[in-house]
Amino acid sequence: MLIWREEFATGVKLVDLQHRRLIENINLLETLLSGPTPTRAACDQLVSFLEKYVNTHFKFEEICMESHCCPAHAQNQREHAAFQDIFKQFKQRYLAEGPKPELLRSLHHTASEWIARHILTVDIQLKGCLGTHQAQPADRPERAPVGEAKATRRVAAVS
């Protein structure tokens, strides 16, 4: 089970909130897998959350890094693209095979390891860039471009 720790904090409240929601959902997947076979509806909801997350949070985080001239920006984009490929392959299998426990366990294992490593080695580099540049809309979702603000609020609200 993943546990949120302060060392995961990036210094951008919305990014940290989104990371917490992601961890909660990955832990929910673990909980579902530890009991009787999870329902299709419960699995569909988690898969939907993850799909929305990789499509909205990743973009938001990349905007944050770019707006703060974070040196990890390019690495972050590469790692996000790699995880999106992993998730795309999972989703194809999920649609073809359904919510098989072994497939869901594989997703849980891969996502858990990726999340902890990625946040602790890439995302936290954003913290060192805050305050060195003028705050950008990414820091203040109420001022973010309309599409970005809506997308990030949706990710933060999905759980």
Considering the domain boundaries, does residue 4 fall inside one?
no
With respect to residue 48, please indicate whether it lies within any of the assigned structural domains. Answer: yes
**Within a domain: residue 3?**
no
pLDDT in tens, 11-26: 999 999 999 999 999 9
The confidence score (pLDDT) of residue 72 equals: 97
Cα→Cα distances 40→44, 82, 94, 110, 144, Å: 6, 27, 11, 21, 36
Structural domains of the chain, count: 1
CATH code assigned at 53: 1.20.120.50
1 belongs to a structural domain:
no
Domain that holds residue 72: 9-157
Classify residue 2: in a domain, yes or no. no
131 band by pLDDT with thresholds 50, 70 and 90: confident
> Does a structural domain hold residue 149?
yes
pLDDT at 43 over 80: yes
Q: Which residue has the tokens 């795309």?
A: 88
Cβ neighbours for 108, distance < 8 A, ≥ 6 positions apart: 26, 29, 30, 33
pTM: 0.79
